[in-house]
Structure 1
Amino acid sequence: MPRAGARPMSDLRRISDAVAAAGLALAVAAGGIPAAGPAVPQRVVSINLCTDQLALMLAAPGQLASVTAFAQDPRQSAMADAARALPANHARAEEVYLLRPDLVLASDFTSPASLAMLRRLGLRVEAFPAATSLADVDAAIGQMGRALGRQDAAATMQARFRADLAALRADIPARPPRSALYEPNGYSPGPQSLAGEITAAAGFSDIAAEAGLPYGGTLPLEQLVMLAPEAIISPGPAPGTSRGYELLQHPALRNLRARGIPMPRSDSDWGCAAPQVLDAAGRLAAARKAAGR
Protein backbone atom coordinates (compact mmCIF):
# COMPACT_ATOMS: atom_id res chain seq x y z
CA MET A 1 0.00 0.00 0.00
CA PRO A 2 1.45 3.43 -0.86
CA ARG A 3 1.97 5.83 2.02
CA ALA A 4 -0.60 8.55 2.53
CA GLY A 5 0.24 11.52 0.36
CA ALA A 6 2.73 9.54 -1.77
CA ARG A 7 2.48 9.98 -5.56
CA PRO A 8 1.77 6.86 -7.63
CA MET A 9 4.89 5.47 -9.36
CA SER A 10 3.47 6.31 -12.81
CA ASP A 11 3.25 10.00 -11.84
CA LEU A 12 6.84 10.00 -10.58
CA ARG A 13 8.01 8.36 -13.80
CA ARG A 14 6.21 11.01 -15.91
CA ILE A 15 7.77 13.81 -13.87
CA SER A 16 11.22 12.23 -14.20
CA ASP A 17 10.83 11.88 -17.96
CA ALA A 18 9.72 15.49 -18.28
CA VAL A 19 12.69 16.74 -16.25
CA ALA A 20 15.07 14.66 -18.37
CA ALA A 21 13.57 15.98 -21.60
CA ALA A 22 13.82 19.55 -20.38
CA GLY A 23 17.45 19.01 -19.39
CA LEU A 24 18.26 17.52 -22.78
CA ALA A 25 16.65 20.46 -24.57
CA LEU A 26 18.66 22.93 -22.48
CA ALA A 27 21.88 21.04 -23.16
CA VAL A 28 21.26 21.05 -26.92
CA ALA A 29 20.41 24.74 -26.87
CA ALA A 30 23.62 25.47 -24.93
CA GLY A 31 25.69 23.50 -27.41
CA GLY A 32 26.68 20.81 -24.92
CA ILE A 33 25.06 18.01 -26.93
CA PRO A 34 24.86 18.12 -30.73
CA ALA A 35 21.33 18.29 -32.09
CA ALA A 36 20.34 15.38 -34.27
CA GLY A 37 20.40 16.28 -37.97
CA PRO A 38 18.36 14.77 -40.77
CA ALA A 39 18.59 11.01 -41.07
CA VAL A 40 21.12 9.72 -43.58
CA PRO A 41 19.15 9.35 -46.83
CA GLN A 42 18.84 5.86 -48.23
CA ARG A 43 17.19 6.61 -51.58
CA VAL A 44 18.52 9.72 -53.32
CA VAL A 45 17.35 11.12 -56.66
CA SER A 46 19.35 13.82 -58.46
CA ILE A 47 17.58 16.10 -60.94
CA ASN A 48 20.47 18.29 -62.07
CA LEU A 49 23.48 17.43 -64.24
CA CYS A 50 25.98 18.91 -61.79
CA THR A 51 24.50 17.29 -58.67
CA ASP A 52 24.33 14.05 -60.67
CA GLN A 53 28.08 13.98 -61.12
CA LEU A 54 29.08 14.99 -57.62
CA ALA A 55 26.60 12.52 -56.09
CA LEU A 56 27.98 9.74 -58.30
CA MET A 57 31.40 10.43 -56.80
CA LEU A 58 30.34 10.68 -53.15
CA ALA A 59 27.26 8.51 -52.62
CA ALA A 60 27.55 5.21 -50.77
CA PRO A 61 26.87 2.04 -52.78
CA GLY A 62 23.13 1.74 -53.38
CA GLN A 63 22.36 5.20 -52.00
CA LEU A 64 21.78 6.94 -55.33
CA ALA A 65 18.59 5.75 -57.02
CA SER A 66 18.41 7.90 -60.16
CA VAL A 67 20.25 10.64 -62.07
CA THR A 68 19.18 12.74 -65.04
CA ALA A 69 19.42 11.56 -68.62
CA PHE A 70 21.96 14.35 -69.20
CA ALA A 71 24.39 12.58 -66.87
CA GLN A 72 24.46 9.62 -69.25
CA ASP A 73 25.53 11.76 -72.25
CA PRO A 74 29.35 11.88 -72.58
CA ARG A 75 29.12 15.20 -74.45
CA GLN A 76 27.75 16.80 -71.29
CA SER A 77 28.83 14.57 -68.43
CA ALA A 78 32.26 13.57 -67.16
CA MET A 79 30.59 10.66 -65.31
CA ALA A 80 28.56 9.21 -68.18
CA ASP A 81 29.78 5.63 -67.75
CA ALA A 82 28.89 5.52 -64.05
CA ALA A 83 25.56 7.27 -64.70
CA ARG A 84 24.45 4.62 -67.18
CA ALA A 85 24.33 2.08 -64.34
CA LEU A 86 21.35 3.96 -62.82
CA PRO A 87 17.81 4.69 -64.00
CA ALA A 88 17.51 8.08 -65.70
CA ASN A 89 14.97 10.77 -64.90
CA HIS A 90 13.97 13.96 -66.73
CA ALA A 91 13.63 16.19 -63.64
CA ARG A 92 9.81 16.21 -63.74
CA ALA A 93 8.24 16.45 -60.30
CA GLU A 94 5.70 13.70 -60.98
CA GLU A 95 8.26 11.10 -62.04
CA VAL A 96 10.60 12.06 -59.20
CA TYR A 97 7.82 11.58 -56.64
CA LEU A 98 7.05 8.12 -58.01
CA LEU A 99 10.71 7.13 -57.46
CA ARG A 100 9.98 7.45 -53.68
CA PRO A 101 13.15 9.36 -52.73
CA ASP A 102 13.97 10.46 -49.22
CA LEU A 103 16.27 13.17 -50.66
CA VAL A 104 16.14 15.08 -53.94
CA LEU A 105 19.31 16.83 -55.15
CA ALA A 106 18.67 19.91 -57.29
CA SER A 107 20.15 23.22 -58.39
CA ASP A 108 19.10 26.77 -57.61
CA PHE A 109 18.38 26.91 -61.35
CA THR A 110 15.98 23.96 -61.27
CA SER A 111 12.44 25.04 -62.14
CA PRO A 112 11.04 26.81 -59.04
CA ALA A 113 7.64 25.26 -59.75
CA SER A 114 9.13 21.76 -59.67
CA LEU A 115 11.01 22.43 -56.44
CA ALA A 116 7.91 23.90 -54.81
CA MET A 117 5.80 20.92 -55.84
CA LEU A 118 8.34 18.42 -54.52
CA ARG A 119 8.45 20.22 -51.18
CA ARG A 120 4.65 20.40 -51.00
CA LEU A 121 4.63 16.63 -51.51
CA GLY A 122 6.74 16.33 -48.38
CA LEU A 123 10.06 15.49 -50.03
CA ARG A 124 13.34 16.77 -48.66
CA VAL A 125 15.08 18.86 -51.35
CA GLU A 126 18.71 20.01 -51.23
CA ALA A 127 19.41 22.79 -53.76
CA PHE A 128 22.98 23.62 -54.79
CA PRO A 129 24.06 27.04 -56.10
CA ALA A 130 25.75 27.25 -59.49
CA ALA A 131 29.54 27.36 -59.22
CA THR A 132 31.22 30.56 -60.37
CA SER A 133 34.65 29.90 -58.84
CA LEU A 134 36.95 27.10 -57.73
CA ALA A 135 36.09 27.98 -54.13
CA ASP A 136 32.47 27.18 -55.00
CA VAL A 137 33.57 23.71 -56.14
CA ASP A 138 35.19 23.09 -52.76
CA ALA A 139 32.02 24.29 -51.01
CA ALA A 140 29.78 22.08 -53.18
CA ILE A 141 31.80 18.99 -52.21
CA GLY A 142 31.23 19.79 -48.54
CA GLN A 143 27.51 20.47 -49.08
CA MET A 144 27.07 17.18 -50.91
CA GLY A 145 28.90 15.29 -48.17
CA ARG A 146 26.56 16.74 -45.53
CA ALA A 147 23.44 16.08 -47.62
CA LEU A 148 24.35 12.43 -48.17
CA GLY A 149 25.71 11.83 -44.67
CA ARG A 150 29.12 11.21 -46.30
CA GLN A 151 31.14 13.90 -44.51
CA ASP A 152 34.30 11.81 -44.20
CA ALA A 153 34.38 10.96 -47.90
CA ALA A 154 33.74 14.61 -48.76
CA ALA A 155 36.54 15.79 -46.46
CA THR A 156 38.95 13.40 -48.18
CA MET A 157 37.84 14.68 -51.60
CA GLN A 158 38.21 18.29 -50.47
CA ALA A 159 41.74 17.66 -49.19
CA ARG A 160 42.74 16.11 -52.51
CA PHE A 161 41.09 18.96 -54.43
CA ARG A 162 42.95 21.61 -52.42
CA ALA A 163 46.28 19.82 -52.81
CA ASP A 164 45.85 19.43 -56.58
CA LEU A 165 44.84 23.08 -56.94
CA ALA A 166 47.83 24.24 -54.92
CA ALA A 167 50.14 22.16 -57.14
CA LEU A 168 48.70 23.76 -60.27
CA ARG A 169 49.00 27.26 -58.89
CA ALA A 170 52.60 26.67 -57.79
CA ASP A 171 53.50 26.09 -61.45
CA ILE A 172 52.00 29.29 -62.93
CA PRO A 173 54.60 31.18 -65.00
CA ALA A 174 55.64 34.72 -64.14
CA ARG A 175 54.27 35.91 -67.51
CA PRO A 176 51.18 33.80 -68.27
CA PRO A 177 50.31 33.52 -71.96
CA ARG A 178 47.18 35.43 -73.00
CA SER A 179 44.20 33.20 -73.77
CA ALA A 180 40.63 33.57 -74.97
CA LEU A 181 37.74 31.44 -73.85
CA TYR A 182 35.51 31.56 -76.90
CA GLU A 183 32.16 29.79 -77.06
CA PRO A 184 29.17 29.60 -79.45
CA ASN A 185 27.74 32.97 -80.51
CA GLY A 186 31.01 34.62 -79.49
CA TYR A 187 30.39 34.34 -75.76
CA SER A 188 33.44 34.64 -73.49
CA PRO A 189 32.91 33.66 -69.82
CA GLY A 190 35.49 36.12 -68.46
CA PRO A 191 38.09 35.68 -65.70
CA GLN A 192 35.52 36.08 -62.89
CA SER A 193 33.83 32.78 -63.73
CA LEU A 194 34.47 29.11 -63.10
CA ALA A 195 35.89 28.68 -66.61
CA GLY A 196 38.08 31.75 -66.13
CA GLU A 197 39.46 30.38 -62.87
CA ILE A 198 40.20 27.04 -64.55
CA THR A 199 42.34 28.79 -67.16
CA ALA A 200 44.04 30.93 -64.49
CA ALA A 201 44.92 27.83 -62.46
CA ALA A 202 46.46 26.37 -65.62
CA GLY A 203 48.74 29.38 -66.00
CA PHE A 204 46.90 31.52 -68.57
CA SER A 205 45.56 35.06 -68.42
CA ASP A 206 42.18 35.89 -69.94
CA ILE A 207 41.84 38.61 -72.58
CA ALA A 208 38.16 39.09 -71.73
CA ALA A 209 39.37 41.38 -68.95
CA GLU A 210 41.16 43.50 -71.57
CA ALA A 211 37.88 43.69 -73.49
CA GLY A 212 36.02 44.94 -70.41
CA LEU A 213 34.24 41.63 -69.78
CA PRO A 214 35.48 40.44 -66.36
CA TYR A 215 32.22 38.61 -65.69
CA GLY A 216 31.69 37.45 -69.27
CA GLY A 217 29.76 38.63 -72.29
CA THR A 218 29.75 38.65 -76.06
CA LEU A 219 33.16 39.25 -77.59
CA PRO A 220 32.86 40.17 -81.29
CA LEU A 221 35.12 38.13 -83.54
CA GLU A 222 36.69 41.32 -84.93
CA GLN A 223 37.70 42.42 -81.43
CA LEU A 224 39.04 38.95 -80.67
CA VAL A 225 41.27 39.08 -83.75
CA MET A 226 42.58 42.53 -82.80
CA LEU A 227 43.40 41.38 -79.27
CA ALA A 228 45.42 38.50 -80.79
CA PRO A 229 45.44 35.98 -77.91
CA GLU A 230 48.18 33.37 -77.82
CA ALA A 231 45.71 30.56 -77.15
CA ILE A 232 42.07 29.92 -78.06
CA ILE A 233 40.01 27.60 -75.86
CA SER A 234 36.65 26.52 -77.27
CA PRO A 235 34.25 23.59 -76.94
CA GLY A 236 34.35 20.80 -79.45
CA PRO A 237 31.74 20.45 -82.19
CA ALA A 238 28.28 19.44 -81.01
CA PRO A 239 26.23 17.91 -83.84
CA GLY A 240 22.57 18.86 -83.89
CA THR A 241 22.97 21.95 -81.73
CA SER A 242 22.50 25.63 -82.55
CA ARG A 243 24.00 27.56 -85.45
CA GLY A 244 25.99 29.51 -82.86
CA TYR A 245 28.67 26.82 -83.16
CA GLU A 246 29.34 27.86 -86.77
CA LEU A 247 31.22 30.94 -85.56
CA LEU A 248 33.84 28.66 -84.00
CA GLN A 249 34.73 27.42 -87.49
CA HIS A 250 35.31 30.89 -88.93
CA PRO A 251 38.57 31.17 -90.97
CA ALA A 252 39.81 34.06 -88.82
CA LEU A 253 39.47 31.92 -85.71
CA ARG A 254 41.18 29.00 -87.40
CA ASN A 255 44.10 31.29 -88.30
CA LEU A 256 44.41 32.47 -84.70
CA ARG A 257 44.48 28.86 -83.51
CA ALA A 258 47.08 27.90 -86.10
CA ARG A 259 49.43 30.68 -84.96
CA GLY A 260 48.90 30.10 -81.25
CA ILE A 261 49.49 27.41 -78.67
CA PRO A 262 47.71 24.16 -79.61
CA MET A 263 44.99 23.81 -76.99
CA PRO A 264 42.66 21.00 -75.91
CA ARG A 265 38.96 21.63 -76.26
CA SER A 266 36.87 22.68 -73.30
CA ASP A 267 34.91 19.55 -72.53
CA SER A 268 32.31 17.97 -70.27
CA ASP A 269 34.47 18.44 -67.17
CA TRP A 270 34.40 22.26 -67.34
CA GLY A 271 30.94 23.34 -66.28
CA CYS A 272 30.09 21.72 -62.94
CA ALA A 273 31.20 22.02 -59.34
CA ALA A 274 33.13 18.75 -59.24
CA PRO A 275 36.82 17.84 -58.91
CA GLN A 276 37.08 17.12 -62.65
CA VAL A 277 37.51 20.85 -63.27
CA LEU A 278 41.12 20.39 -62.18
CA ASP A 279 41.53 17.67 -64.82
CA ALA A 280 40.58 20.34 -67.36
CA ALA A 281 43.10 22.75 -65.85
CA GLY A 282 45.75 20.04 -65.92
CA ARG A 283 45.25 19.49 -69.65
CA LEU A 284 45.62 23.21 -70.32
CA ALA A 285 48.76 23.40 -68.19
CA ALA A 286 50.24 20.44 -70.07
CA ALA A 287 49.56 22.16 -73.40
CA ARG A 288 51.18 25.36 -72.15
CA LYS A 289 54.32 23.57 -71.00
CA ALA A 290 54.51 21.54 -74.22
CA ALA A 291 54.66 24.87 -76.07
CA GLY A 292 57.54 26.00 -73.86
CA ARG A 293 55.46 28.48 -71.91
Structure 2
Amino acid sequence: MRLRPFPKPASARLRTRAGALALIGALALPAAAAPGRVVSINLCTDQLAMMLAAPGQLVSVTHLARDPAASVMAEAAKAWPTNRGRAEEVYLMHPDLVLAGRFTAQPTVAMLRRLGIPVEVFEPATSFADMQTDITRMGQVLGREAEAAQMTRTFAARLAQIRAATLPGPRPLAATWSAQGYMSGHKSLAGEILTTAGFDTLAARMGRDRGSTLPLEALVMAAPDLVVTGRIEKGSSRAEEPLTHPAFRALTGNHAALEDRDWICGLPSVLDATERLEDMK
Protein backbone atom coordinates (compact mmCIF):
# COMPACT_ATOMS: atom_id res chain seq x y z
CA MET A 1 0.00 0.00 0.00
CA ARG A 2 1.51 3.33 -1.08
CA LEU A 3 1.42 6.07 1.50
CA ARG A 4 0.41 9.48 0.31
CA PRO A 5 2.05 12.55 1.82
CA PHE A 6 -0.12 14.20 4.40
CA PRO A 7 -1.49 17.36 2.78
CA LYS A 8 -0.31 20.70 4.19
CA PRO A 9 -2.93 22.90 5.78
CA ALA A 10 -4.15 25.67 3.52
CA SER A 11 -2.55 28.31 5.74
CA ALA A 12 0.86 26.62 5.45
CA ARG A 13 0.54 26.40 1.67
CA LEU A 14 -0.30 30.08 1.52
CA ARG A 15 2.70 31.01 3.68
CA THR A 16 5.01 28.91 1.50
CA ARG A 17 3.69 30.51 -1.68
CA ALA A 18 3.89 34.01 -0.19
CA GLY A 19 7.49 33.40 0.90
CA ALA A 20 8.45 32.17 -2.57
CA LEU A 21 6.81 35.16 -4.23
CA ALA A 22 8.55 37.54 -1.80
CA LEU A 23 11.92 35.97 -2.59
CA ILE A 24 11.33 36.22 -6.32
CA GLY A 25 10.24 39.84 -5.91
CA ALA A 26 13.31 40.71 -3.87
CA LEU A 27 15.61 39.18 -6.45
CA ALA A 28 13.86 41.13 -9.17
CA LEU A 29 14.26 44.49 -7.41
CA PRO A 30 17.12 46.61 -8.78
CA ALA A 31 19.90 47.68 -6.41
CA ALA A 32 19.44 51.13 -4.92
CA ALA A 33 20.72 53.67 -7.40
CA ALA A 34 23.80 55.63 -6.42
CA PRO A 35 23.13 59.35 -5.91
CA GLY A 36 23.81 61.30 -9.08
CA ARG A 37 24.23 64.75 -7.51
CA VAL A 38 26.15 64.94 -4.24
CA VAL A 39 26.97 68.13 -2.31
CA SER A 40 29.41 68.20 0.61
CA ILE A 41 29.11 70.90 3.29
CA ASN A 42 31.95 69.73 5.56
CA LEU A 43 35.71 69.96 5.04
CA CYS A 44 36.37 66.33 5.93
CA THR A 45 33.54 64.89 3.84
CA ASP A 46 34.70 67.19 1.01
CA GLN A 47 38.05 65.48 0.79
CA LEU A 48 36.86 61.92 1.33
CA ALA A 49 34.18 62.37 -1.32
CA MET A 50 36.73 63.83 -3.74
CA MET A 51 38.78 60.67 -3.30
CA LEU A 52 35.90 58.24 -3.80
CA ALA A 53 33.15 59.83 -5.90
CA ALA A 54 32.56 58.76 -9.49
CA PRO A 55 33.31 61.34 -12.21
CA GLY A 56 30.51 63.91 -12.24
CA GLN A 57 28.87 62.56 -9.08
CA LEU A 58 30.17 65.22 -6.66
CA VAL A 59 28.85 68.64 -7.69
CA SER A 60 30.09 70.96 -4.91
CA VAL A 61 32.47 71.12 -1.94
CA THR A 62 32.97 73.77 0.73
CA HIS A 63 35.16 76.80 0.18
CA LEU A 64 37.49 75.42 2.86
CA ALA A 65 38.42 72.54 0.57
CA ARG A 66 40.46 75.03 -1.49
CA ASP A 67 42.29 76.47 1.54
CA PRO A 68 45.85 75.05 1.55
CA ALA A 69 46.13 75.66 5.31
CA ALA A 70 43.14 73.40 5.99
CA SER A 71 42.90 70.95 3.11
CA VAL A 72 45.37 68.38 1.84
CA MET A 73 43.45 68.44 -1.45
CA ALA A 74 43.35 72.21 -1.93
CA GLU A 75 44.65 72.06 -5.49
CA ALA A 76 42.35 69.23 -6.54
CA ALA A 77 39.35 71.05 -5.03
CA LYS A 78 39.64 73.75 -7.69
CA ALA A 79 37.89 71.33 -10.04
CA TRP A 80 34.60 71.68 -8.12
CA PRO A 81 32.26 74.62 -7.46
CA THR A 82 32.31 75.66 -3.81
CA ASN A 83 29.60 76.38 -1.27
CA ARG A 84 29.43 77.96 2.18
CA GLY A 85 27.05 75.42 3.65
CA ARG A 86 23.92 77.56 3.49
CA ALA A 87 20.67 75.64 3.09
CA GLU A 88 19.31 77.90 0.35
CA GLU A 89 22.36 77.60 -1.90
CA VAL A 90 22.58 73.83 -1.39
CA TYR A 91 18.87 73.39 -2.15
CA LEU A 92 19.25 75.24 -5.47
CA MET A 93 21.90 72.70 -6.52
CA HIS A 94 19.18 70.01 -6.52
CA PRO A 95 21.26 67.38 -4.72
CA ASP A 96 20.24 63.74 -4.32
CA LEU A 97 22.47 63.57 -1.25
CA VAL A 98 24.22 66.01 1.09
CA LEU A 99 27.30 65.06 3.10
CA ALA A 100 27.80 66.77 6.45
CA GLY A 101 29.84 66.46 9.64
CA ARG A 102 28.70 66.31 13.24
CA PHE A 103 29.76 69.93 13.73
CA THR A 104 28.26 71.22 10.49
CA ALA A 105 25.70 73.96 11.18
CA GLN A 106 22.74 72.03 12.55
CA PRO A 107 20.11 74.52 11.31
CA THR A 108 21.34 73.86 7.76
CA VAL A 109 21.12 70.09 8.21
CA ALA A 110 17.66 70.34 9.78
CA MET A 111 16.35 72.63 7.02
CA LEU A 112 17.63 70.38 4.23
CA ARG A 113 15.98 67.37 5.83
CA ARG A 114 12.69 69.27 6.17
CA LEU A 115 12.94 69.98 2.46
CA GLY A 116 13.18 66.25 1.80
CA ILE A 117 16.88 66.15 0.91
CA PRO A 118 18.76 63.15 2.33
CA VAL A 119 21.69 64.18 4.56
CA GLU A 120 24.41 61.78 5.74
CA VAL A 121 26.22 63.03 8.85
CA PHE A 122 29.74 61.75 9.56
CA GLU A 123 31.34 61.78 13.00
CA PRO A 124 34.90 63.13 13.40
CA ALA A 125 37.48 60.34 13.25
CA THR A 126 39.26 59.91 16.59
CA SER A 127 41.30 56.83 15.60
CA PHE A 128 42.65 54.94 12.62
CA ALA A 129 39.79 52.45 13.05
CA ASP A 130 37.27 55.32 12.80
CA MET A 131 38.95 56.44 9.60
CA GLN A 132 38.52 53.05 7.97
CA THR A 133 34.88 52.95 9.09
CA ASP A 134 34.29 56.37 7.52
CA ILE A 135 35.92 55.32 4.26
CA THR A 136 33.72 52.23 4.10
CA ARG A 137 30.59 54.23 4.88
CA MET A 138 31.41 56.88 2.29
CA GLY A 139 31.79 54.14 -0.28
CA GLN A 140 28.37 52.80 0.67
CA VAL A 141 26.48 56.11 0.47
CA LEU A 142 28.13 56.97 -2.86
CA GLY A 143 27.67 53.50 -4.33
CA ARG A 144 31.47 53.15 -4.57
CA GLU A 145 32.00 50.16 -2.31
CA ALA A 146 34.76 48.59 -4.40
CA GLU A 147 36.80 51.79 -4.48
CA ALA A 148 36.37 52.27 -0.74
CA ALA A 149 37.43 48.70 -0.02
CA GLN A 150 40.60 49.21 -2.07
CA MET A 151 41.36 52.43 -0.18
CA THR A 152 40.97 50.74 3.21
CA ARG A 153 43.20 47.84 2.13
CA THR A 154 45.90 50.22 0.96
CA PHE A 155 45.65 52.24 4.18
CA ALA A 156 45.78 49.13 6.39
CA ALA A 157 48.81 47.74 4.54
CA ARG A 158 50.74 51.01 4.84
CA LEU A 159 49.81 51.35 8.52
CA ALA A 160 51.03 47.81 9.19
CA GLN A 161 54.37 48.64 7.54
CA ILE A 162 54.79 51.74 9.71
CA ARG A 163 54.01 49.83 12.89
CA ALA A 164 56.35 47.00 11.94
CA ALA A 165 59.18 49.47 11.41
CA THR A 166 58.82 51.00 14.89
CA LEU A 167 61.88 49.95 16.87
CA PRO A 168 61.53 48.47 20.37
CA GLY A 169 63.06 50.20 23.36
CA PRO A 170 62.52 53.45 25.26
CA ARG A 171 60.00 55.76 23.63
CA PRO A 172 60.56 59.52 23.63
CA LEU A 173 57.86 61.75 25.12
CA ALA A 174 55.72 63.92 22.84
CA ALA A 175 52.91 66.42 23.31
CA THR A 176 50.68 68.50 21.10
CA TRP A 177 50.28 72.11 22.20
CA SER A 178 48.44 74.81 20.32
CA ALA A 179 46.44 78.00 20.75
CA GLN A 180 45.28 78.71 24.32
CA GLY A 181 47.50 75.88 25.53
CA TYR A 182 45.25 73.17 24.08
CA MET A 183 46.66 69.63 24.28
CA SER A 184 45.04 66.76 22.37
CA GLY A 185 43.91 63.85 24.49
CA HIS A 186 45.63 60.49 24.43
CA LYS A 187 42.52 58.81 22.97
CA SER A 188 42.38 61.01 19.89
CA LEU A 189 43.56 60.83 16.32
CA ALA A 190 46.56 63.00 17.23
CA GLY A 191 47.35 60.65 20.11
CA GLU A 192 47.29 57.61 17.86
CA ILE A 193 49.46 59.33 15.27
CA LEU A 194 52.08 60.04 17.96
CA THR A 195 52.04 56.55 19.46
CA THR A 196 52.18 54.92 16.02
CA ALA A 197 55.20 57.08 15.22
CA GLY A 198 56.93 55.60 18.28
CA PHE A 199 56.30 58.20 20.99
CA ASP A 200 54.70 58.12 24.40
CA THR A 201 52.27 60.99 24.90
CA LEU A 202 52.26 63.54 27.69
CA ALA A 203 48.46 63.30 27.66
CA ALA A 204 48.64 59.59 28.52
CA ARG A 205 51.20 60.21 31.26
CA MET A 206 48.88 62.81 32.78
CA GLY A 207 45.81 60.58 32.40
CA ARG A 208 44.10 62.90 29.93
CA ASP A 209 42.18 60.85 27.41
CA ARG A 210 40.41 63.88 25.95
CA GLY A 211 41.64 67.28 24.83
CA SER A 212 42.31 69.78 27.59
CA THR A 213 44.20 72.94 28.46
CA LEU A 214 47.78 72.59 29.65
CA PRO A 215 49.49 75.62 31.23
CA LEU A 216 52.85 76.59 29.77
CA GLU A 217 54.47 76.00 33.16
CA ALA A 218 53.28 72.37 33.20
CA LEU A 219 54.59 71.83 29.68
CA VAL A 220 57.99 73.25 30.61
CA MET A 221 58.17 71.07 33.72
CA ALA A 222 57.33 67.94 31.68
CA ALA A 223 60.16 68.76 29.24
CA PRO A 224 58.89 66.56 26.38
CA ASP A 225 61.29 65.40 23.69
CA LEU A 226 58.92 66.67 21.01
CA VAL A 227 56.19 69.32 20.99
CA VAL A 228 53.89 69.39 17.98
CA THR A 229 52.29 72.77 17.33
CA GLY A 230 50.31 74.40 14.60
CA ARG A 231 51.97 76.81 12.24
CA ILE A 232 52.22 80.39 13.49
CA GLU A 233 51.47 82.93 10.77
CA LYS A 234 52.06 86.67 10.83
CA GLY A 235 49.24 88.51 12.55
CA SER A 236 48.26 85.46 14.59
CA SER A 237 45.76 85.85 17.42
CA ARG A 238 46.56 86.51 21.08
CA ALA A 239 45.48 82.93 21.81
CA GLU A 240 48.65 81.83 20.01
CA GLU A 241 51.02 84.11 21.94
CA PRO A 242 52.19 81.30 24.30
CA LEU A 243 53.69 79.57 21.25
CA THR A 244 56.15 82.45 20.91
CA HIS A 245 56.89 82.78 24.65
CA PRO A 246 60.62 82.59 25.56
CA ALA A 247 59.96 79.76 28.03
CA PHE A 248 58.38 77.70 25.28
CA ARG A 249 61.20 78.43 22.89
CA ALA A 250 63.70 77.44 25.58
CA LEU A 251 62.43 73.85 25.69
CA THR A 252 65.33 71.62 24.72
CA GLY A 253 63.27 69.06 22.83
CA ASN A 254 62.30 69.27 19.19
CA HIS A 255 59.51 71.59 18.06
CA ALA A 256 57.53 70.33 15.08
CA ALA A 257 55.21 72.83 13.42
CA LEU A 258 53.43 70.21 11.36
CA GLU A 259 50.78 71.46 9.00
CA ASP A 260 47.40 71.46 10.71
CA ARG A 261 45.71 70.13 7.59
CA ASP A 262 47.39 66.75 8.10
CA TRP A 263 45.63 66.34 11.44
CA ILE A 264 42.23 67.96 10.90
CA CYS A 265 40.48 65.13 9.07
CA GLY A 266 40.73 61.36 9.19
CA LEU A 267 42.24 60.87 5.75
CA PRO A 268 44.98 58.52 4.50
CA SER A 269 47.32 61.54 4.56
CA VAL A 270 47.62 61.18 8.36
CA LEU A 271 50.15 58.47 7.61
CA ASP A 272 52.33 61.08 5.91
CA ALA A 273 52.36 63.01 9.19
CA THR A 274 53.12 59.80 11.08
CA GLU A 275 56.16 59.07 8.94
CA ARG A 276 57.47 62.63 9.32
CA LEU A 277 57.20 62.29 13.09
CA GLU A 278 59.14 59.02 12.99
CA ASP A 279 62.05 60.89 11.48
CA MET A 280 62.11 63.27 14.46
CA LYS A 281 62.83 60.66 17.13
Provide the TM-score with structure 1 as the length reference: 0.84
Counterparts in 2 of 1:228 and 1:36: CA distance versus 1, 3 Å: farther
1:74 and 2:68 equivalent?
yes
Structure 1 residues 167-178: aligned runs within 5 Å: 167-174=161-168, 175-178=170-173
Q: Distance in 2 between matches of 1:21 and 1:238?
A: 69
Structure 1 residues 163-202: aligned runs within 5 Å: 163-174=157-168, 175-202=170-197
Residue aligning to 1:42: 36
Residue aligning to 2:267: 274
147, 151, 170: which one aligns with 1:153: 147
- Which SS does the other structure have where 1:209 is aligned? helix
8 Å contact from structure 1 (residues 77, 268) kept in 2: yes
Q: Distance in 1 between matches of 2:25 and 2:130?
A: 31
1:244 and 2:244 equivalent?
no
Q: Distance in 1 between matches of 2:99 and 2:17?
A: 37
- Which SS does the other structure have where 2:39 is aligned? strand
C-alpha deviation, 1:83, in angstroms:
0.8
Residue aligning to 2:202: 207
103, 106, 111: which one aligns with 1:112: 106
Residue aligning to 1:96: 90
C-alpha deviation, 1:45, in angstroms:
0.5
Residue aligning to 1:14: none
Q: Distance in 1 between matches of 2:83 and 2:230?
A: 26
C-alpha deviation, 1:112, in angstroms:
2.2
Amino acid at match of 2:209: P
208, 218, 222: which one aligns with 1:227: 222
8 Å contact from structure 1 (residues 264, 283) kept in 2: no
Q: Distance in 2 between matches of 1:20 and 1:150?
A: 36
Q: Which ranges in structure 2 are unaligned for 5 or more consecutive residues?
A: 1-15
8 Å contact from structure 1 (residues 46, 67) kept in 2: yes
Q: Distance in 1 between matches of 2:221 and 2:187?
A: 22
Q: Distance in 2 between matches of 1:95 and 1:54?
A: 22
Structure 1 residues 253-264: aligned runs within 5 Å: 253-256=248-251, 259-261=252-254, 263-264=256-257
Q: Distance in 2 between matches of 1:92 and 1:241?
A: 28
C-alpha deviation, 1:172, in angstroms:
2.2
What percentage of residue pairs aligned between the two structures are identical?
A: 52
C-alpha deviation, 1:39, in angstroms:
1.5
C-alpha deviation, 1:62, in angstroms:
1.3
Residue aligning to 1:11: none
Q: Which ranges in structure 1 are unaligned for 5 or more consecutive residues?
A: 1-18, 289-293
274, 277, 280: which one aligns with 1:284: 277
8 Å contact from structure 2 (residues 69, 259) kept in 1: no
How many residues are paired up? 265
Amino acid at match of 2:211: G
1:139 and 2:133 equivalent?
yes
Amino acid at match of 2:220: V
Amino acid at match of 1:70: L
- Which SS does the other structure have where 2:263 is aligned? coil
Amino acid at match of 2:85: A
Amino acid at match of 1:283: R
Q: Deviations over 1:27-80 (max 9, x none)?
A: 678xxx597554211111000000001111111111110000011100011110
Q: Distance in 2 between matches of 1:25 and 1:112?
A: 40
8 Å contact from structure 2 (residues 173, 225) kept in 1: yes
Counterparts in 2 of 1:219 and 1:36: CA distance versus 1, 3 Å: farther
Residue aligning to 2:57: 63
CA root-mean-square deviation: 2.2
Q: Distance in 2 between matches of 1:34 and 1:73?
A: 47
C-alpha deviation, 1:118, in angstroms:
0.7
Amino acid at match of 1:75: A
Counterparts in 2 of 1:57 and 1:21: CA distance versus 1, 3 Å: farther
Amino acid at match of 1:115: V
Q: Distance in 1 between matches of 2:216 and 2:233?
A: 20
C-alpha deviation, 1:85, in angstroms:
1.5
Q: Distance in 1 between matches of 2:180 and 2:197?
A: 25
C-alpha deviation, 1:263, in angstroms:
3.0
